[in-house]
Amino acid sequence: MGYTDQRFDVNLSILFTELPLLERPAAAAAAGFTAVELWWPWIDTPTPDQSELDDLRKALKNSGTRLVGLNFYAGRLPGPDRGALSVPGEESERFRANIDVAADFAASVGCKALNALYGNRVEGVDPAVQDELALENLVTAARAADRVGASLLVETLNRPESPLYPLVSAASAIEVVDQVNAATGLGNAKFLLDIYHLSMNGEDVAAAIDAYAAKTGHVQIADNPGRGAPGTGSLPLEELLDRLKKAGYDGWVGLEYKAGDRPSARAFDWLPEKARPAP
């Protein structure tokens, strides 16, 4: 058990960022990985030119890596934003414009998980208004994801680093997942269980795994404190991943941590090379 029997993928929006986007899939492959994930790569636009989508698709294909997770447009991320779908006005309109673009791109590369970050609370806007808008947009996104055979992911973040983000417990994200599934009847909304974020919130991660493994569609890890590679903090990540597997989770585990002061290629020394290609 432990790390050697997991299906790892590398998040190319936090690792290998010293390289241009189109060079990162090959760098992940050179480090021994066959699967990657991405935040929405075009921060400034929800609707990039088709040529940019084609170039990314080609970079993935040429590197031999599979994209297994993709965020919908989420505003300035990295940056001050934490999603767009619950933000009234231009940002939620940009999210809606992105839905089919992201879903169609995911379909073109065989990606089966689309993450929809909820968005920050906005001063002067009734939270109930934001939640109503969020549910409307998530329902639309879930239907688009279903159209291409994908899951819609809803993620918990952590309050210390994202104080305006309302989903800062596993239970709060699960509530949204359940609302979306009830509204669509599709059952394809799932929980994105990020061990680092849950631990930063002070949650009992093992208890969250036991309670919500069946509703989990994707997992991400980083150690805590520091959001570094496994072994740089104090989280029992091997034990927690084993617990997930025993609870029935057999999906992807995204490596969403900071490389620190080392080149990204050295940020995987904790993981034997033979465990890096996805089984």
Non-local (6+) Cβ contacts of 44 within 8 A are none
| C-alpha 57: how far from chain center | 19
Query: Quick one: 51 exposed, middle or buried, by C-beta within 10 A (0-12, 13-18, 19+)?
Result: exposed
CB contact at 8 A, 61 and 96: no
- The pair of three-digit structure tokens given for residue 42, joined into one six-digit string: 């075009």
User: Which of 37, 91, 203, 256 is labelled catalytic?
Assistant: 256
User: Which of 37, 91, 155, 203 is labelled catalytic?
Assistant: 155
- The pair of three-digit structure tokens given for residue 112, joined into one six-digit string: 């089966």
Cα–Cα distance, 215 to 209 (Å, whole number): 10
Cα–Cα distance, 229 to 207 (Å, whole number): 23
Whether 155 is catalytic: yes
Name the helix (H) or strand (E) containing 211: helix 205-212
Whether 256 is catalytic: yes
Residue 122: DSSP 8-state = -
Q: Nearest 5°: phi and psi at 244?
A: -60, -45
Cα–Cα distance, 174 to 166 (Å, whole number): 13
Cα–Cα distance, 119 to 162 (Å, whole number): 10
Please state at what angle helix 90-109 crosses helix 127-147, rounded to 10 degrees.
20
Q: Which residue has the tokens 């969250």?
A: 208
Considering only CA atoms, give the Rg of the chain: 17
Helix (H/G/I), strand (E/B), else coil: 115: strand
- Active site (catalytic) residues: 155, 256
